[in-house]
Structure 1
Amino acid sequence: MRILVAPDKFAGTLTAVEAAEAIAEGWRRQAPDDEVDLAPMSDGGPGFVDVLHAALGGELLVTTVDGPLEGEVPATLLVVDGTAYVESAQACGIHLTGAEQGGRAHTRGVGQLLAKARGVGVRRAVVGLGGSGTTDAGAGMLAALGATADVALTDGGDGLTGVTTVDLTAARDALAGIELVAATDVDNPLAGLFGAAKTFGPQKGLAEDDIVRVDGALEQFAAATDRRLALEKGAGAAGGLGFALMLLGARRQSGIELVADAVRLAERARAADIVVTGEGAFDFSSRAGKVPAGVAAIAAEALRPCVALAGQVLVGSREMRALGMDSAYSLVDLVGEERALGDPAGSLAALAQRVARTWST
């Protein structure tokens, strides 16, 4: 049998590359004669650059940029054939902000990465959006590229309160001639009931009062720039970084679709007998723009079964099939939460070995 292994990261425990290797190891224990093809995936969030580098090669440029609160953080730019790939989470990820940052975290470092991309002469820049700890509408990124306003643009979402005037001329000039792509994992607009603050604020440490205040500030920022773009799908990605990129002329593309194209996932699925994907928690949030649903859709087009291995499976069989999955298996159910967290690679390999007993013939 030919097995295509295409997981996302297991957040906080395994990168997508590590998860794919663990699944392959476990599968081979049970079915050593099976041919296992590894295609680690990303939806634009953490791991975006590593996954694309593994698939495309290219040059990794290591640098430092401003972190989302204070100090500098390391970041890596991938340059391949005139295209720069930027992983926004490296500059403003939730792992850099903690759970109590309120509305102070900014995206200045993302703008600095784009400036570095411009400096090496790329014709195209693809920004992976996901896993951010910020809700500043990308104002910090715009400021790093030269934008100005009648409020501070690098004080996070809180700093946008009362904004009435924003001048984007310098920021647009800074990236003139570069095709911009915003690779998003969500479809949310910038503000409102389904906007960046109200939908994702709680997981970024925003209390209820913070959410109301920051959402109002995002509305004001949209009014000062472009209300129409603020309603576009993906404008609320990464706390509004999607919106800021759109203000600079970026087109939006699904992150999972972009990575799937880069790794030739459809072609490899057609050559496989079964497709195996995975992520930390398989739940209903997996349905929109996330790796398992995207991989399952490609497997379905190839008329191949798709199964998911996850830290936790939080949907029933009916919901699982609605997400395009033939079956889903839980790491915690097999080995318990303590072992799953203490030895994630070994535990995932054990789960894969068990799944192979059912699916390898």
Structure 2
Amino acid sequence: MRVLIAPDKFAGTLTAVQAARAIAEGWARQAPGDELDLAPMADGGPGFVDVLHAALGGELAAVTVSGPHGDAVPAAVLVVGGTAYVESAQAAGLHLADGDVESATSRGVGELVLAAVDSGARTVVVGLGGSGTNDGGAGVLAALGATADVALDAGPAALAAVTEVDLSRARERLSGVTLVAASDVDNPLTGLFGATKTYGPQKGVAEERIAEVDGWLEAFATATDRRTSLEKGAGAAGGMGYALMVLGATREPGIDLVADAVQLASRARSADLVVTGEGAFDFSSRAGKVPYGVAGVASEALRPCIALAGQVLVGSREMRALGIESAYSLVDLVGEERALGAPAEALAELAQRVARTWSR
């Protein structure tokens, strides 16, 4: 039996590569004769560059950029042929922002884009997701040369009085470069479904502050490009999607980009079963997340797809609506303490048990 193992990261515990290896290890204990094909996945968020490097090879260049509060942080640029891949979470991730979102800047992501351009790449793909910033991408624009009548790289609070933004130097800096925003969300920049209202609370924006912070981004959009702020994906990564789009970026779902890179469709057709997974499997998984994307590819290949997750928070009806035959919870099997304390060991144990049911 041939099994395609294509999980996302288990946030906070395992990278996608580690999760794939743990699932394979446990499966092999139960079914040593099965052929296991590992295809770690990502949707544009944390792990995007590592997954693409594992799939595509290429040159991985270490760089140092500005973190959300100005401290130096390590990051990487992956160059494959004439295309460079960077990951916003490395420079502006939730783990770097410390909950102080009103002064957090996305400047380091713009510096990553500059490093990619300086490498000679003519196409730059920016993975968007897992950010701890909510500045509308103003910091990205500042790093690329944009100017305004306020500081663009001092967080969203600094945008309250903005009335004028000049993008000419940033556009000149990127002349001849194709930008791609790899995003797993389709929110606009502002409003009821915008970046602040939808994702601000998980980044530290208090409920009573949402309207004011959203108003700062409204002012920024009015001074820059109001129409683009309403487009799908402008609210990705706290508005970094917007910043890239006003510079001419096209938007592509991160899961689709990675699926194409790892040739997931052809590998699914060669498999008898597809196994995916993530930290928390819930109905939000439908919004461009890895399990939903993998399940869609499996469905097109007429192959069953199952999920292994830290927690399963949907019922069987919702699960099938997401294209998943069955989902199995790590916490239900080993408890939360062990799932967090020894995640690879626990995931391997879960995979071993699941193989009893699904392997021939």
Q: Same fold (TM over 0.5)?
A: yes
* 2:92 alignment partner in structure 1: 92
- State the AA in 2 paired with 1:301: E
Q: Distance in 1 between matches of 2:203 and 2:194?
A: 14
Query: 1:166, 1:225 within 8 Å by CA — same for their partners in 2?
Result: yes
TM-score scaled to structure 1, two decimals?
0.99
Q: Distance in 2 between matches of 1:114 and 1:102?
A: 22
The answer to which of 149-158 and 55-64 deviates more is 149-158
- Mapping 1:12-23, distance limit 5 Å: 12-23=12-23
Query: 1:145, 1:174 within 8 Å by CA — same for their partners in 2?
Result: yes
Q: Distance in 2 between matches of 1:158 and 1:8?
A: 34
Aligned-residue offset at 1:21: 0.1
* 1:66 alignment partner in structure 2: 66
2:281 corresponds to 1:282: yes
Query: 2:45, 2:87 within 8 Å by CA — same for their partners in 1?
Result: yes
Query: 1:138, 1:244 within 8 Å by CA — same for their partners in 2?
Result: yes
Q: Distance in 1 between matches of 2:158 and 2:314?
A: 39
Q: Distance in 2 between matches of 1:124 and 1:206?
A: 34
Query: 2:141, 2:243 within 8 Å by CA — same for their partners in 1?
Result: yes
* 1:198 alignment partner in structure 2: 197
Instruction: Report the 3-state secondary structure (helix = DSSP H, G, I; strand = E; otherwise coil) of the residue aligned with 1:79.
Output: strand
User: Structure 1, unaligned stretches of length 5 or more?
Assistant: none
Q: Distance in 1 between matches of 2:156 and 2:353?
A: 47
User: Structure 2, unaligned stretches of length 5 or more?
Assistant: none
Query: 1:103, 1:210 within 8 Å by CA — same for their partners in 2?
Result: no
Aligned-residue offset at 1:155: 1.3
Aligned-residue offset at 1:119: 1.1
Query: 2:86, 2:112 within 8 Å by CA — same for their partners in 1?
Result: yes
2:242 corresponds to 1:236: no
- State the AA in 1 paired with 2:37: D
* 2:359 alignment partner in structure 1: 360
Q: Distance in 2 between matches of 1:298 and 1:306?
A: 9
- State the AA in 2 paired with 1:259: V
* 1:107 alignment partner in structure 2: 106
Q: Distance in 1 between matches of 2:114 and 2:97?
A: 23
* 1:271 alignment partner in structure 2: 270
- State the AA in 1 paired with 2:318: E
* 1:247 alignment partner in structure 2: 246
Q: Distance in 2 between matches of 1:201 and 1:239?
A: 8
Aligned-residue offset at 1:162: 1.8
Instruction: Report the 3-state secondary structure (helix = DSSP H, G, I; strand = E; otherwise coil) of the residue aligned with 2:78.
Output: strand
Instruction: Report the 3-state secondary structure (helix = DSSP H, G, I; strand = E; otherwise coil) of the residue aligned with 2:70.
Output: coil
Aligned-residue offset at 1:102: 3.3
Instruction: Report the 3-state secondary structure (helix = DSSP H, G, I; strand = E; otherwise coil) of the residue aligned with 2:356.
Output: helix
Q: Distance in 2 between matches of 1:97 and 1:278?
A: 27
- Mapping 1:304-315, distance limit 5 Å: 304-315=303-314
* 1:142 alignment partner in structure 2: 141
What stretches of structure 1 move > 6 A for 4+ residues in a row?
none
Query: 2:87, 2:127 within 8 Å by CA — same for their partners in 1?
Result: yes
Q: Distance in 2 between matches of 1:28 and 1:110?
A: 40
* 1:172 alignment partner in structure 2: 171
Aligned-residue offset at 1:225: 1.3
The answer to which of 17-26 and 227-236 deviates more is 227-236
Query: 1:102, 1:210 within 8 Å by CA — same for their partners in 2?
Result: no
Query: 2:101, 2:132 within 8 Å by CA — same for their partners in 1?
Result: no
Query: 1:158, 1:213 within 8 Å by CA — same for their partners in 2?
Result: no
Q: Distance in 1 between matches of 2:160 and 2:289?
A: 32
- State the AA in 1 paired with 2:332: D
Q: Distance in 2 between matches of 1:209 and 1:69?
A: 23
Instruction: Report the 3-state secondary structure (helix = DSSP H, G, I; strand = E; otherwise coil) of the residue aligned with 1:286.
Output: helix
Query: 2:101, 2:133 within 8 Å by CA — same for their partners in 1?
Result: no
Instruction: Report the 3-state secondary structure (helix = DSSP H, G, I; strand = E; otherwise coil) of the residue aligned with 2:190.
Output: coil
Aligned-residue offset at 1:284: 1.0
Q: Distance in 2 between matches of 1:239 and 1:353?
A: 39
State the identity %: 74
Q: What is the Cα-based RMSD across aligned positions, in Å?
A: 0.7
Aligned-residue offset at 1:222: 1.0
Query: 1:117-172 deviations in whole A, cap 9, x for unaligned?
Result: 11121110000000000000110010011100111101111111121100000011
- State the AA in 2 paired with 1:89: A
- State the AA in 1 paired with 2:315: G
Aligned-residue offset at 1:95: 0.6
Query: 1:102, 1:207 within 8 Å by CA — same for their partners in 2?
Result: no
Query: 2:150, 2:161 within 8 Å by CA — same for their partners in 1?
Result: yes
Query: 1:85-119 deviations in whole A, cap 9, x for unaligned?
Result: 01010000001012x31311111101111111111
Instruction: Report the 3-state secondary structure (helix = DSSP H, G, I; strand = E; otherwise coil) of the residue aligned with 1:73.
Output: strand
